[in-house]
Structure 1
Amino acid sequence: MEFSVKFENAPGLPENKGPVTVGWFLNSQKAGVIFYPPERFRSTEKNKAHAKSASRCPAVINMESRYFVFRAPFDLHLQFVRDKDGKPGLRNLNGDLSPVRANKISQRLHVTPEKEWRHPNVPTIQLSLPYVLVADEPVYVTQLAPFMHYQKDPWPGTIFGGRFPINVWPRPLMWAFEWHDTSKPLKINRGDPLFYVMFEAATPDRSVALVETELTKELADYVDFVSGAVNFVNQTFSLFERAEEVRPDTLIKPVKRRKSDD
């Protein structure tokens, strides 16, 4: 089967008319229970009494159904600081009241080197996450800000996501934030929307079925094969063809959950 990252270069694919199956899994089970399963976006507006309600609008329903929500696994209440030598850093404003130990936050959250910031004096922080997405046909994922959720305390900056093909490049997702107004703190509560993702398949009107998949040996080996490339080379998209050459035909194996007794 052809797994080309370019939709137009995959003529050998069967004509699928059903939902696109996308698998997700955690690449580490350590404290995995704190990570929410991704969920399809559902509008909080439930007013369907009126025929012209936005909740009844086909265009709104169709658009919202294409987004999936990833939620914050723990509380973050941070201030951007610099030490006496001017080195950038983060201060946990929750202090001793924080439910997360400081050494655990630092294992997942960090300020990127200042020379790598996209804009002068606009710090970038990154939160490492264990979520990995994968597909067995050409599918691109796009990561973007949770723009359909109201924030009582607006973030003092913006996130920047990315777009890449998960059928040949399954890698852990990263939440990256550009802190434009460093005079204001960044506050995110556990369970708050952290970002959205949307998927693109070769046929745009197909829906998406997001399923938890087993981390089989074949999948683990393939993820290891492509992971970490960004640390060694630039322009990792140039490696897609090499990744296609070694990819197994099938990587998704849905997890079977035990049914609870009624």
Structure 2
Amino acid sequence: MQLSVHFENTQGTDATSGPVKVGWFLNQQKAGIVYYPPERVRSADMNKTHAKSASRCPAVINLESRYFAVRCPFDLHLQFGRDKDGKPALRNLNGEASGIRGNKLREKLHIASENEWRYPGVPTIQLSLPYVFIADEPVYMSQISPFMHHPRDPLPGTIFGGRFPINVWPRPLMWAFEWHDTDKPLKVRRGDPLFYVTFETMPQDRSVVMVEAEVTKDLDDYMELISGAVNYVNQTFSLFEAAEARRPPKLLSPVKRGAD
């Protein structure tokens, strides 16, 4: 089994060619219909009539082809504050007009403990999401801010993500936001891009094909093996090689829909 969490470990093995297949799935199916499939970033609505238009530039097209957008599944309109005891709290400014029930929003959205904030006075809020990405060869995924989209309501802070190997460490993503200007509300509409994901491959010039993955028993068992590790150790990266040693040779099986 040639997977590896280190690209350099793949040197000298059989040459790889063609696109890299990356699978995505939801680890929770309840209300799964509200979650948008990841979609490739494209300049479909930009000016392409002029030969020198940036949207026709090969470098721009190549860049965009390497990013996939994940959209917000429901409306968020929040105000940061503190309760009577001084503890951080969130207020849903949509009130009774909110499309998501308050108890469901509280299940998905929470404020990180104040002693875990990266900067004093800058709250970190986290939106739990069911998106998981998987590959059967060495692929590192990075989760980043959707920098090619201009938000209708500028965010009062910054988004931060991370980078990890999805071939050995597939895990549900979350949207993490650092609220720098707590005097301003946070507003994200359903359908607005929450973040991008991009993928590092070997060789680096290989394209990426995104497919919906079937949650097989092997995949489900492997997810159970690594789930929750962050609650027990501080440096989960130290577990990558141990996880790889127990990984089945194949985890990605594309979903088959309709008649064959």
Give the Cα separation in 1 of the matches to 2:138 and 2:83: 46
Percent identity over the alignment?
69
Query: How far apart are residue 44 of structure 1 and its match?
Result: 4.5
Matches within 5 A, 1:41-56: 41-56=41-56
Aligned to 2:255: 255
Query: How far apart are residue 10 of structure 1 and its match?
Result: 2.2
Cα 1:4–1:85, aligned 2, differ >3 Å: closer, same or farther? same
Give the Cα separation in 2 of the matches to 1:89 and 1:208: 40
Number of residues of Structure 1 aligned to a counterpart in Structure 2: 259
RMSD of aligned residue pairs (Cα, Å): 1.0
Letter in 2 for 1:228: G
Structure 2: gaps of 5 or more residues: none
Aligned to 1:91: 91
Give the Cα separation in 1 of the matches to 2:214 and 2:38: 15
Letter in 1 for 2:258: R
User: 1:122-174: CA deviations, max 9, x gaps?
Assistant: 00000000000000000000000011001121000001100000000000011
**5-14 or 218-227: which moved more?**
5-14
Aligned to 2:178: 178
Aligned to 2:6: 6
Aligned to 1:35: 35
Aligned to 2:23: 23
Give the Cα separation in 1 of the matches to 2:256 and 2:84: 54
Answering whether residue 191 of structure 2 is matched by residue 191 of structure 1, we say: yes
Give the Cα separation in 2 of the matches to 1:120 and 1:46: 41
Give the Cα separation in 1 of the matches to 2:2 and 2:258: 35
Query: How far apart are residue 12 of structure 1 and its match?
Result: 6.3
Aligned to 2:150: 150
Letter in 2 for 1:160: F
Answering whether residue 113 of structure 2 is matched by residue 113 of structure 1, we say: yes
Q: Is the 8 A contact 1:45 1:55 kept in 2?
A: no
Query: How far apart are residue 11 of structure 1 and its match?
Result: 3.6
Query: How far apart are residue 79 of structure 1 and its match?
Result: 0.3
Runs of 4+ residues over 6 Å off in structure 1: none
Give the Cα separation in 2 of the matches to 1:168 and 1:192: 30
TM-score (norm 2): 0.98
